[in-house]
Amino acid sequence: MAAIGVWFSVILIILVVLIMLKIVSKKQAAAVKLAIALFLFLMITAGYMAATYNVNLTTFDGLKQAGTVYVTWITSIFRNVGSITAFAFHQNWGIDSAINTTQQPDSEES
């Protein structure tokens, strides 16, 4: 009878380890997919920025200029997405609205 208990414990430990490996492997797969997506985003946006702004990537000053342009460009993208999201949030999305009225955002004069 003790042998059955030992084998049951061994099988239980093996199952727990296999389940843990599956969980860890799924978490790692998600992390790998996220890393690949971030890498692709970085490469595509950096390539687009370098081609559009024609920066010199062979000198330190050119790399510094490219970094400044890239950070400014990414910041403006996130600002634009934020303003679009805020604009959509302030719209009248109610079901009972008879007319589709678009609320214009407050214009900021520079």
Is 53 contained in some domain?
A: yes
For residues 89, 91, 93 and 85, what is the CA-based torsion angle, rounded to 10 degrees? Answer: -30
Is 98 contained in some domain?
A: no
Q: What is the pLDDT of residues 13-48, one digit of tens each?
A: 878 887 777 777 777 777 777 778 888 887 777 777
Please give the average per-residue pLDDT across 42-70, as a whole number: 82
Domains in the chain, number? 1
Is 65 contained in some domain?
A: yes
Is 81 contained in some domain?
A: yes
Is 21 contained in some domain?
A: yes
Is 110 contained in some domain?
A: no
pTM attached to this predicted model: 0.52
Is 91 contained in some domain?
A: no
Q: How confident is the model at residue 110 (pLDDT cuts 50, 70, 90)?
A: very low
Pick the more confident residue, 90 or 99: 90
Residue span of the structural domain in which 52 resides: 2-85
Is 107 contained in some domain?
A: no
Q: In b/e form, how buried is each residue of 66-102, taking b as 16+ CB within 10 angstroms? A: beeebeeeeeeeeeeeeeeeeeeeeeeeeeeeeeeee
- The percentage of the chain sitting over the pLDDT mark of 70, rounded to a whole number, equals 78
Residue 96 token pair: 């009972």
